[in-house]
């Protein structure tokens, strides 16, 4: 898997994921399990790869040639 998630994108995904996971503690009833959706942005931030990006033609990861 070629990385397609860049730095700022990774940070935002991680923050959103943690906020969603916090719903497990903050909410009551069955609605609280929606917080498990926070695992998805945390996983994509950790792996630096989003399966939806290639389908949409998006790549926020800087290319190697621009880093040199």
Q: In whole angstroms, what is the distance from residue 17 CA to residue 12 CA?
A: 8
**For the CA atoms of 68, 47, 5, 57, what is the dihedral angle to 10 degrees?**
110
Angle between helices 39-47 and 7-26 (to 10 degrees): 150
Give domain limits for the chain. Answer: 7-56
* pLDDT score recorded for residue 68: 46
DSSP assignment letter at 48: T
Given a cut of 70, is residue 67 above it in pLDDT?
A: no
Q: What is the pLDDT of residues 34-59, one digit of tens each?
A: 999 999 999 999 999 999 999 999 99
Q: In whole angstroms, what is the distance from residue 6 CA to residue 59 CA?
A: 8
pTM of the model: 0.86
């Amino acid at each position: 898997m070629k990385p397609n998630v860049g730095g700022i994108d990774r940070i935002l995904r991680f923050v959103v994921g943690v906020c969603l996971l916090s719903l497990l503690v903050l909410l009551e009833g069955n609605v609280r399990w929606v917080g498990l959706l926070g695992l998805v942005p945390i996983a994509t931030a950790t792996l630096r790869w989003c399966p939806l990006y290639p389908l949409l033609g998006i790549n926020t990861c800087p290319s190697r040639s621009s880093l040199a």
